[in-house]
Amino acid sequence: MPLSRYYSPTLRAATAGLFLLGSALPAMPALANGAAPAPASKQDRLPNTREDRERAQVIDTTLTEILDFRLDIRSLIADQDGAWPRIQQQVAEYRRRMDAAINPALVAQANDFSTRPTVRLRDEAERNAERMAGMIASANVESTLAATRESTMFARYSALVQMGEQLRQLQRLYPDNATIAQANQTAAGVLAQLGSFDEIEAQASANVAARIAETRLLAPVRRDAALERSFANAFWASPWANDYRGGEIVRMNLTSSGWTVHTNALGTPVSRDTGTSFAVRAPDGKCYAVRGIFEQRYTGGGYGGSIYASGSHQEMLCANI
């Protein structure tokens, strides 16, 4: 982000015009009550020449690159193939870029606070460090480690890793800054509880395996062989079954005692639905528990055929069907 963000075009033009005319800046008027204006802060009294701003540009560019670092967390949330390895690769690439950008000469320049631009950049780094430390400190480590979906755990972990990496690079740029050092301690403490990439991956795998082992079908509350066959046919006719084509429904449990009828504002029936819990064996041999809602629409003199309306699925052990 350019240093020009600190100076309005109007102020720059006015200052430049006075300089070219050889005029002195006008004296600041006294306040309305006759009191003298407040003295300028120490920072405002620091030099702020064009040369100072130009020299600070390389610091500004590096700070912007540190703070603009973003991991592709959306791909984790969407559970895209290869998202987790890609996150680790992005972290490694970021570290390499920062190794090339942050050198002793830049660090010395960034920590020379004899000019206003360098002080403002330091203040910006501190504000961001405090903000990220607050977000990291509020993370629920226990909930993250207990997540039973890999995508959820990886996304939460990666958001913390992103900020942790940014804080490490801020510390490299400002090695003696107490505010940034404290923020890094906060981040390091939370990330230590979560573990490394490999440890998070192992924890996620263990959680998923435990959930699969614990998954069971809901018990049936009634039996109706004809209705169960109708529901099985409706499931295979729906696009929801695409992931299981070539498989089979091993068991169908009716989990509602009857139908729930839905009416319009006039009280006329529109549709009716009922709940099920059934097991599907996929072509790869894995089994899944499905909680599904089947619907029949009102046709005027009765109800039409069954439609698979919605549902959720979870892998389970075939032995637990």
In a domain, 193, yes or no: yes
Q: Would you mind telling me the total number of residues written for the chain in this entry? A: 321
In a domain, 219, yes or no: no
Last residue of a domain, one of 209, 242, 267: 209
Q: Which residue type occupies 23?
A: S
- Reported as type and span, the H/E element at residue 198 is helix 197-214
The total number of structural domains that make up the chain: 2
Q: Do 119 and 194 reside in the same domain of the chain?
A: yes
Ranges of residues in the chain whose predicted pLDDT is under 70: 1-44
Give the per-residue pLDDT at 44: 64
Give the per-residue pLDDT at 42: 60
Contact assessment for residue 154 and residue 84, using Cβ atoms and an 8 Å cutoff: yes
Contacts 24+ apart (CB under 8 A), 268-274: 268/298, 269/298, 270/297, 270/298, 271/295, 271/296, 271/297, 271/298, 271/303, 272/296, 272/298, 272/303, 273/309
Q: Do 125 and 48 reside in the same domain of the chain?
A: yes
Radius of gyration of the chain (CA): 32
Give the span between the Cα atoms of 112 and 117, in whole angstroms. 10
In a domain, 198, yes or no: yes
Give the per-residue pLDDT at 96: 97
In a domain, 31, yes or no: no
Give the per-residue pLDDT at 163: 97
Position of tokens 């892998």? 315
Q: Do 168 and 264 reside in the same domain of the chain?
A: no
Q: Do 177 and 138 reside in the same domain of the chain?
A: yes
222 pairs with which residues across the strands?
254
108: CB partners within 8 A, 6+ apart: none
Phi, psi of 145 (to 5 degrees): -70, -20
Tell the burial category of 22 from Cβ atoms under 10 Å away from its Cβ (0-12, 13-18, 19+). exposed
Give the per-residue pLDDT at 30: 43
Contact assessment for residue 211 and residue 288, using Cβ atoms and an 8 Å cutoff: no
In a domain, 216, yes or no: no
Q: Do 83 and 232 reside in the same domain of the chain?
A: no
Cα separation values, 83 from 65, 74, 118, 157, Å? 23, 9, 38, 13
- Ramachandran bin of 95, using left for φ above 0, alpha for ψ from -120 to 50, beta for the remaining angles: alpha
Give the per-residue pLDDT at 25: 36
What is the dihedral angle through the alpha carbons of 34, 40, 41, 43, rounded to the nearest 10 degrees? 160
In a domain, 27, yes or no: no
- Ramachandran bin of 291, using left for φ above 0, alpha for ψ from -120 to 50, beta for the remaining angles: beta
Q: Do 93 and 205 reside in the same domain of the chain?
A: yes
Q: Do 189 and 244 reside in the same domain of the chain?
A: no
The single-letter DSSP state of residue 72 is: -
Q: Do 197 and 231 reside in the same domain of the chain?
A: no
Last residue of a domain, one of 209, 237, 258: 209
114-152 CB burial, b ≥16 within 10 A, e <16: ebbbbbbbbebbbebbeebbeebeebebeebbebeebbb
Q: Do 113 and 194 reside in the same domain of the chain?
A: yes
In a domain, 150, yes or no: yes
Contact assessment for residue 163 and residue 187, using Cβ atoms and an 8 Å cutoff: yes
In a domain, 92, yes or no: yes
For the entire predicted model, the pTM comes to 0.71
E strand residue ranges, the chain = 248-254, 260-263, 269-281, 287-298, 303-316
The single-letter DSSP state of residue 48 is: -
Give the per-residue pLDDT at 79: 74
Last residue of a domain, one of 177, 209, 241: 209
- Reported as type and span, the H/E element at residue 174 is none
Q: Do 12 and 74 reside in the same domain of the chain?
A: yes
Give the per-residue pLDDT at 10: 35
Range of the domain at 304: 225-320
Contact assessment for residue 230 and residue 254, using Cβ atoms and an 8 Å cutoff: no
Average pLDDT of the chain, as a whole number: 88
Give the per-residue pLDDT at 27: 41
As given in the structure block, the two tokens for residue 104 are 């002793």
Q: Do 243 and 95 reside in the same domain of the chain?
A: no
Q: Do 187 and 257 reside in the same domain of the chain?
A: no
Give the per-residue pLDDT at 142: 95
